[in-house]
Amino acid sequence: MKDSSSRSFRDPDALIARAGVAGDPNHDQHFLVDDRVLDRLTGYLPTDTDRSHLLEIGAGTGALTDRLLEHGKRVTAIERDPALVEFLRSEFEDAITTDRLTVIEGDALDVELPDVTASVSNLPYSASSDILFRLLPRSIPLVVMVQREFAARMAADPGTDEYGRLSVTAGHYGECEIVEPVPREAFSPSPPVESAVVRVVPHTPTYTVPDDEFFLDFVTAVFTQRRKTVRNAIRNTVHISNLRDPENVVSAIEDETLSKRPGDLSPSQFAALARSAFKHGEPKVDSRD
């Protein structure tokens, strides 16, 4: 990894001025302008990360892109704003010409994601969950700027108020850690909420599941009834879990587990539940895309 002090990076405010934009809160557009935070982001990647191809989602005016080019061999930046795409291609023309940077115009939820080795991004708050659900199964190191409450849910432990579907899903694919809180003043314009940087280091779970997609659908289903007992949650959510025989599932699980609330179950306990549901519930797995 190159020393980020070896050169001076583009000034975030100057980039905004050259781009002729001001940010649009109504379209989830908040530019990260704090140099100190920007300088630290790539450093949160694990030291053994393969940096041969880095992905940035929501490149904006390129303040983070500039730093990623210093730390990665190649960078792919995705940006949905056509005017900013045009600016990025002009501002970073040299990096594009030498095949070190590719700028993709489009929504990160719709475009085809390239094969990359890691991702560092300041994610749009409104799409953070959906974007992460695209990135997590790729099993690559992630450093993401998200809303602070969202970060807390990603890294939450069982039995806490923040623990839920996102906690289990993120934890299924990697170790999640909040590495830095970020104040509103670090952005232009300032968002109405605090932010945080989360690092996700991919891992292989200590438990097994019969099918990743079924497991995550099952977790989603049960957490829609988080105030109910697990017994009732299984019975009431077959339209999500696609279980044909929820009563058979309930009969196969011990009462102690069935009497708990979903938020009290660890990921490994959810995995055990999913194995029983898959075995005894006759899931309609062939109905999934």
Amino acid (1-letter code) at residue 101: L
Q: What is the pLDDT confidence band of residue 22, given thresholds at 50, 70 and 90?
A: confident
**Direct distance between the N- and C-terminal alpha carbons of the chain, in angstroms, rounded to an integer:** 40
The structural domains of the chain, with segments of one domain joined by +, span: 4-202, 212-287
User: Per-residue pLDDT for 205 more than 50?
Assistant: yes
Does the annotation place 81 within a ligand binding site?
Answer: no
Read off the pLDDT of residues 81-131 as tens digits, 9 standing for 90 and up: 999 999 999 999 999 999 999 999 999 999 999 999 999 999 999 999 999
Beta-sheet pairing, 54-57 with 174-182:
unpaired
Does the annotation place 149 within a ligand binding site?
Answer: no
Partners of 126 in beta bridges: none
What does the alpha-carbon distance between residue 83 and residue 105 come to, in Å, rounded to a whole number?
A: 10
CATH number of 4-202: 3.40.50.150
Amino acid 286: pLDDT: 55
Amino acid 27: pLDDT: 80
CB 84 within 8 A of CB 91: no
Q: What is the pLDDT confidence band of residue 284, given thresholds at 50, 70 and 90?
A: confident
The residue-averaged pLDDT of 39-63 equals 97
List the strands of the sheet with 101-105, edge to edge.
Answer: 101-105, 75-79, 54-57, 118-122, 142-147, 195-202, 174-182
CB 50 within 8 A of CB 117: yes
The residue-averaged pLDDT of 256-276 equals 95
Helix axis angle, 128-135 to 165-173, nearest 10°: 30
CATH fold label, 212-287: Helicase, Ruva Protein; domain 3 (1.10.8)
3-class DSSP assignment, residue 35: helix
Q: Give the CA count within 13 Å in the CB-facing half-sphere of 240.
A: 16
Give the angle subtended at the CA of 162 by the CAs of 161 and 163, to the nearest 5°: 95
CB 69 within 8 A of CB 95: yes
Partners of 75 in beta bridges: 54, 101
Does the annotation place 232 within a ligand binding site?
Answer: no
Mean pLDDT of the chain: 93
Does the annotation place 239 within a ligand binding site?
Answer: no
In 2-109, which ranges are continuous DSSP H helix?
Answer: 12-19, 35-41, 63-71, 82-91, 93-97
Amino acid 8: pLDDT: 86
Amino acid (1-letter code) at residue 74: R
Read off the pLDDT of residues 6-20 as tens digits, 9 standing for 90 and up: 468 999 999 999 999
User: Per-residue pLDDT for 2 more than 60?
Assistant: no
What does the alpha-carbon distance between residue 210 and residue 213 come to, in Å, rounded to a whole number?
A: 9
The residue-averaged pLDDT of 63-79 equals 97
Amino acid 28: pLDDT: 81
Of all residues in the chain, the percent with pLDDT exceeding 90 is: 90
Does the annotation place 113 within a ligand binding site?
Answer: no
Does the annotation place 32 within a ligand binding site?
Answer: yes
Read off the pLDDT of residues 211-255 as tens digits, 9 standing for 90 and up: 889 999 999 999 999 999 999 999 999 999 999 999 999 999 999
For the residues of 196-253, what is the DSSP string, one character each? EEEEEEE---SS--S-HHHHHHHHHHHHTTTTS-HHHHHHHTHHHH--S-HHHHHHHS
State the DSSP code for 111.
S
